[in-house]
Amino acid sequence: MIPEWNMAGVLPPVSPGLPGAHPNRSPYETDLDHVIDQFATSPDRIKMLKGLLDFRLELSKVGITKGFQWLDESFLENVEDLESRSPRDIDVVTFYYLPEGETQQSLLIKQPALFQSSNTKD
Amino acid sequence: MLAEIPEENVIDRLGLESRLEEARSLIASVPEEVIVNKARLTFRGPPVVGSHGIVADFAAVAAGSFAKAVTAVAASISDNLRDKGPIPNRQENQLLITGTAIGSFGFEFELPNPDNNEIFPVRSKAEDALQKIKELFRLAANGTDDEVAELIDEIHPRAVKNAAEFLEYLAENGAWCGVEFKDEYFRFSNIDQLRFSADRLKEDNIDERDESYRGEFQGVLPKGRAFEFKKSGDKNIIKGKVGVKIDDADVLNRKFLHQAVNAEFHVIQFGKGQPRYTLESLDNISA
């Protein structure tokens, strides 16, 4: 469960109302459904989320189906209020288990563009 | 981090190498010199709770009064300030509160930057104004009447009044302050010193008048803009300065040297100090 933005327009470091050491804190564990429910609030954001889904689809095509991702950047901030603009991007860090029988080198050979952030950003 | 990742973990390395490249590119795009001048104004006394906090009412009025004094002094440096009416160029000389200042409690201000696209960027008037205000406080606390008069002569009386009003507000609330700018600071030692300074800067301690004399200019230093004027029938010499409205001070040497003229000078006298004479306009000289 991801809390709402605080007055500063960002996700609070700890879920509101809970003590500072509580485990319900950033990075908030959630699933893609909740991310979409909470952040697909404009056409620009929907476009970025579609891009994220496309990226995950490409990962699954090369056998990467187990792992988790950190999401960050202006997508996770209320930039519409703070800076009167749409978010520019989603920063994604992917932690994954190597598919059975693959190495990093064999994966890279299969789909080099998938692992170049300059390609996946677009 | 990259050094600790085995060579065969090509995807891990690719990700980090990409981020490293992005960071380098971002650093390279930052202009070489971004100097942002900051000033700090801190307060002590009853409205301040250590370095924990400050009474909001007091802080709002005090910060606003200080900022007003800065814009007034900046306008007076540009010779735009009149006795009444809105302070000119106020928006250009606005201070920006960018944070709190600790060591008691106060505010950090950012000064407007000069246009960095200019070939010869000039210092902002707000920067000069802040230096003058810091110096005014210091001299009001510790300087002689003549030293204060010399500084007041450079600042329009209305701007001095704004600075005095700031100090008076602090005095009313039992508070005193310190101003830090460019690694130099002045801080009032206690409320008594601040009250003393506020009293000194009151309007009734500053006498401003125009005086006319017949006599002869003995000479002007073109760069220093200082003149000597011998009064007719009097061996006393008036020493003064040529005001900023007269572009070329040397014109006095060329056109009026040793010629009998009537001259009107603007006089400022602070406390018991020596009067300071300024020739404000060539129109104030007549045959």
Check pLDDT > 70 for residue B123: no
Q: What pTM value is reported for the model?
A: 0.70
Check pLDDT > 70 for residue B83: no
Contacts of A93 in chain B (CB under 8 A): 15
Cα gap B230→B238, rounded to integer Å: 6
How close A1 gets to chain B, by Cα (Å)? 28
Name the residue among B8, B12, B14 with its Cβ closest to that of A116: B14
CB B226 within 8 A of CB B251: no
pLDDT of residue B153: 82
- Which residues, other chains included, contact B21 with Cβ-Cβ below 8 Å and sequence gap of 6+? none
B window 12-41, beta carbon within 8 A of A: 12, 14-15, 18-19, 22
pLDDT of residue A58: 94
pLDDT of residue B197: 96
Cα gap B271→B31, rounded to integer Å: 49
Higher local confidence (pLDDT), B34 or B259: B259
Check pLDDT > 70 for residue B259: yes
Q: Determine whether the interchain pair A108/B10 forms a contact, defined as Cβ–Cβ distance below 8 Å.
A: yes
**What interface predicted TM-score (ipTM) does this complex get?**
0.76
Contacts of A116 in chain B (CB under 8 A): 14, 18
Q: Determine whether the interchain pair B8/A104 forms a contact, defined as Cβ–Cβ distance below 8 Å.
A: yes
> Interhelix angle for B157-172 vs B191-200, to 10°?
150
Check pLDDT > 90 for residue B30: no
Residue B181's SS3 state is strand
Q: Determine whether the interchain pair A105/B15 forms a contact, defined as Cβ–Cβ distance below 8 Å.
A: no
Q: Binning pLDDT at 50, 70 and 90, where does residue B122 land?
A: low
Q: Does B11 touch chain A (CB under 8 A)?
A: yes
Q: What is the mean pLDDT of chain B?
A: 88
Q: Determine whether the interchain pair B18/A118 forms a contact, defined as Cβ–Cβ distance below 8 Å.
A: yes
Contacts of A113 in chain B (CB under 8 A): none
CB B124 within 8 A of CB B109: no
Cα gap A7→B8, rounded to integer Å: 45
pLDDT of residue B70: 93
Q: Determine whether the interchain pair A115/B14 forms a contact, defined as Cβ–Cβ distance below 8 Å.
A: yes
How close B5 gets to chain A, by Cα (Å)? 12
Q: Determine whether the interchain pair A117/B18 forms a contact, defined as Cβ–Cβ distance below 8 Å.
A: yes
Name the residue among B8, B10, B15 with its Cβ closest to that of A117: B15
Q: Determine whether the interchain pair A103/B8 forms a contact, defined as Cβ–Cβ distance below 8 Å.
A: yes
Check pLDDT > 70 for residue A84: yes
pLDDT of residue B34: 59
Q: How far is CA B197 from CA A27, B159, B188, in A?
A: 55, 16, 9
What does the pLDDT look like over B147-162, one tens digit per residue?
Answer: 998 888 888 788 899 9
Cα gap A94→B282, rounded to integer Å: 77
**Burial class of residue B197, CB neighbours in 10 A (0-12, 13-18, 19+):** buried
Check pLDDT > 80 for residue B79: no
Strand partners, B285: B263
Span B133-142, mean pLDDT? 95
> B14: closest CA among A102, A113, A96?
A113
pLDDT of residue B227: 95
> B50: closest CA among B100, B94, B1, B97?
B100
Check pLDDT > 80 for residue B196: yes
Span B228-240, mean pLDDT? 92
Probe site for chain A from B8, B10, B22, B25 (most A CB atoms < 10 A): B10
Strand partners, B261: B215
Find tokens 């990742």 and name the residue.
B5
Q: Determine whether the interchain pair A108/B11 forms a contact, defined as Cβ–Cβ distance below 8 Å.
A: yes
Q: Determine whether the interchain pair A116/B11 forms a contact, defined as Cβ–Cβ distance below 8 Å.
A: no
> B168: closest CA among B146, B196, B145, B190?
B196
Q: Does B7 touch chain A (CB under 8 A)?
A: no
Higher local confidence (pLDDT), A81 or A25: A25
Span B106-122, mean pLDDT? 71
pLDDT of residue B138: 96
How close B8 gets to chain A, by Cα (Å)? 7
pLDDT of residue B262: 95
Q: How far is CA B260 from CA A48, B231, B287, in A?
A: 84, 9, 7
Q: How far is CA B279 from CA B6, B11, B261, B264, B284, in A?
A: 79, 77, 13, 7, 7
Cα gap A102→A63, rounded to integer Å: 9
Size of interface A-B (CB pairs under 8 A): 23
Cα gap B265→B279, rounded to integer Å: 5
Contacts of B8 in chain A (CB under 8 A): 103-105
- Which residues, other chains included, contact B163 with Cβ-Cβ below 8 Å and sequence gap of 6+? B69, B72, B73, B133, B136, B137, B201
- Which residues, other chains included, contact B234 with Cβ-Cβ below 8 Å and sequence gap of 6+? B215
Q: Does A115 touch chain B (CB under 8 A)?
A: yes
Q: Binning pLDDT at 50, 70 and 90, where does residue B33 land?
A: low
Check pLDDT > 80 for residue A111: yes
Percent of chain B with pLDDT over 90: 55
Highest mean pLDDT among A111-115, B41-45, B203-207: B41-45
**Burial class of residue B30, CB neighbours in 10 A (0-12, 13-18, 19+):** exposed
Cα gap A16→A3, rounded to integer Å: 7
Q: Does A103 touch chain B (CB under 8 A)?
A: yes
Span B191-218, mean pLDDT? 93
Nearest residue in B to A93, CA atom = B15
Locate B219 and state its tokens.
Answer: 């000479």
Pick the CATH number of B207-286 from 1.10.287, 2.70.98, 2.40.50, 1.10.246: 2.40.50
Check pLDDT > 80 for residue B80: no
Other Cβ atoms closer than 10 A to B156: 19
Whether cis (ω within 30° of 0) applies to the bond prior to A27 is: yes
What does the pLDDT look like over A35-80, one tens digit per residue?
Answer: 999 999 999 999 999 999 999 999 999 999 999 999 998 999 999 9
pLDDT of residue B152: 87
Ranges of each domain in chain B:
38-201, 207-286
Backbone φ, ψ for residue B172 (5° rounding)? -60, -30
Listed range (A9-18, A93-102, B167-176) with the worst mean pLDDT = A9-18
Percent of chain A with pLDDT over 70: 98
Cα gap A5→A26, rounded to integer Å: 12
C-alpha neighbours within 13 Å on the C-beta side of residue B198:
20
